[in-house]
Amino acid sequence: MSASEIIITCWSIFFVVWIVTAAKAKPTVEMQSAGSKLAHRIPVGIGSWLFLFPNFPGEFNRQILPRTAELRMAGAVICICGLVFTLWARYTLAGNWSSDVTFKREHELIRTGPYRFVRHPIYTGLLVMFAGTTLHIGQLRCLLGLLLVAIGFWIKLGQEERLLARHFPEAYPVYKRDVKALIPFVI
């Protein structure tokens, strides 16, 4: 299997799992506003668009990394690692998951699995997948897309943290103190 096929397979697995498992989420009791959704969806959407559609004019398609087989395969391996971490996090979160910032009926504060290492492992895994894809493609548009996706996730995790701190006023500040948001021991 080529590096390109690995990258495509990883993203395909991600989307299929997300669609299939979305039906198993618990009922929502609190949901974010439409404006709040747009605050993170716009940068994530534009960033993802930069990855998906390669026919940009001029400098957007400038190659900033060499197109070596080794670098492309390294990107594919990194993408696999991000996928595995993301799927582990999604499985651990189970019915508490939502693509929006929500609070579910019988919501639990999850601190097991990858949530022992970072508070937002789905975003960590997705950022690793985007980073691997960026390494594989090596174009400026992907680097800009990665930056926009990271900004969108940062906005969304801030929204989630405010919601969780409100619903778990004693437990969440302790968790936040003990576990970093995206990169273990760093940030």
User: DSSP string covering 74-93, please?
Assistant: HHHHHHHHHHHHHHHHHHHH
- What are 77-99's pLDDT values in tens digits? 999 999 999 999 999 999 899 88
Alpha-carbon distance of 142 to 168, in angstroms, equals 37
* Predicted TM-score of the model (pTM): 0.94
Higher pLDDT, residue 19 or 23: 19
Class of the domain covering 3-14+27-178: mainly alpha
pLDDT, position 185: 86
Asked if 136 and 55 touch (Cβ cutoff 8 Å), the reply is: no
pLDDT, position 142: 96
- What are 96-134's pLDDT values in tens digits? 998 889 999 999 999 999 999 999 999 999 999 999 999
Asked if 89 and 126 touch (Cβ cutoff 8 Å), the reply is: no
Domain boundaries, the chain: 3-14+27-178
Identify the band that residue 57 occupies on the pLDDT scale cut at 50, 70 and 90: confident
Alpha-carbon distance of 149 to 140, in angstroms, equals 14
pLDDT, position 76: 97
